[in-house]
Amino acid sequence: MRVAVVGATGNIGSRTVAALQRDGHEVVRISRSLGVDLVSGDGLDDALAGVEAVIDAINYQSTDRDRAKTVAFFGTVTQNLLAAEERAGVGHHVLLSIVGIHRVEGNPHYAGKREQERLVKASPVPWTIVRATQFHDFAEMVTGWTEQDGVATIAPLLVQPIAPSDVADILAEVATGEPYRRTIDIAGPETQDLVDMARRTYQVRGRTVKLVPTWSAVFGPEMAGDVLLPGEDARIAPTTFDEWLAQQAATV
């Protein structure tokens, strides 16, 4: 099967490419660095020629928290992508989204993902939306945003983290099957406290960082409780946080 992966050079995109190739599929890698501009649409039609399914794993890295800019980016690239897919006769659009985005207001990234979901659901291209919980490396990423002089603030979020490799495997499986025409939640097997995840990750890395739990940093109390946890019918991926940590320790 010929499958295009959008955001193919990113964390999840590159893993998804590998998962598809491992299973014998032909993969078209799409990213700006590979010559396809999703914002302008340049190169999309050529890239999608003969493609049967598209996995959208694109991310948006911004140094500000401008909601309008973030929503505009996600909206533009999604509209361009869906229009090109319709012209190419693509039979399945798979969007990687995030569990809990409809329960949190004020987060620009979540607002952008909600716009993506809205456009995908309104498109004539058959679709599946895969909402994932936070990845196992999320705690380390969050503290990296705030760390100064060996001190980092971090919200005590309750999460059910999933391994990036498991996300990629599921995306590859979903894309090569029939469209669900609905959203599905995917998550790891265990709930975790984000502060404890950060502490244990730094321990494996051999680093000492003082963690300051607070709701006054990047994430606020609107994300407390079970807001970020998956629904009862979520698909549970196999890799635990402990197993992921062991893999990280092996690479140190």
pLDDT digits (tens, 9 = 90+) for 127-168: 999 999 999 999 999 999 999 999 999 999 999 999 999 999
pLDDT at residue 60 greater than cutoff 90: no
Asked if pLDDT for residue 41 goes beyond 80, the answer is yes
Q: What is the average pLDDT across 6-22?
A: 96
pLDDT(71) > 60: yes
- Terminus-to-terminus CA distance in the chain, angstroms? 37
Question: How high does pLDDT run on average in the chain?
Answer: 94
DSSP string, 75-141: HHHHHHHHHHHHHHT--EEEEEEETTGGG--S-HHHHHHHHHHHHHHHSSS-EEEEEE--BTTHHHH
d(CA 182, CA 161): 22
pLDDT for res 241: 97
pLDDT of residue 67: 87
Tell me the mean pLDDT in the region 60-70: 74
Q: How many helices (H) does the chain have, and how many strands (E)? A: 8, 11
Q: Where are the domains of the chain?
A: 2-251
pLDDT over 60 (residue 63): no
Res 62: pLDDT: 56
Please, are residues 51 and 90 in contact by the beta-carbon 8 Å criterion?
Answer: yes
Per-residue tokens: 252: 């140190």
> What value does the mean pLDDT take over residues 83-95?
98
- CATH match for 2-251 among 3.40.50.150, 2.30.130.10, 3.40.50.720, 1.10.150.20: 3.40.50.720
The model carries a pTM of 0.94
Q: How confident is the model at residue 249 (pLDDT cuts 50, 70, 90)?
A: confident
20 contacts 172 by C-beta, under 8 angstroms: yes
For the stretch 197-228, pLDDT in tens is 999 999 999 999 999 999 988 888 999 999 99
| Confidence band of 48 (pLDDT split at 50, 70, 90) | very high
